[in-house]
Amino acid sequence: MNKDPYGQLASSLFSSFHKQTRQALSGVGAVLGTITSTGIKLDDFKHELQEYMVAELPGLLSLSRRTVEGAMSWEGGQSAVSLELEEAELEDTLLKLNQGLQPGDRVLAVRVNGGNDVVVVCKVVSAHG
Per-residue pLDDT tens, the chain, 129 aa: give them.
557 777 777 777 777 777 766 655 555 678 999 999 999 999 988 899 999 999 988 888 888 998 989 888 988 888 988 888 888 888 888 888 778 899 999 999 998 887 888 999 999 999 886
Give the Cα separation of 1 and 101 in Å (integer): 66
Give the Cα separation of 63 and 85 in Å (integer): 9
The answer to the question of residue 34 being in a domain is yes
The answer to the question of residue 109 being in a domain is yes
The answer to the question of residue 129 being in a domain is no
Q: Look up the pTM and report it.
A: 0.60
What backbone torsions phi and psi does residue 16 show, to the nearest 5 degrees?
A: -65, -45
The answer to the question of residue 10 being in a domain is yes
Task: State the residue range of the domain holding 37.
Answer: 5-123
- pLDDT confidence of residue 129: 67
Total domain count, the chain:
1
The answer to the question of residue 23 being in a domain is yes
The answer to the question of residue 61 being in a domain is yes
Enumerate long-range contacts of 79-87, CB under 8 Å, 24 or more apart: 87/62, 87/63
The answer to the question of residue 128 being in a domain is no
Give the Cα separation of 65 and 71 in Å (integer): 20
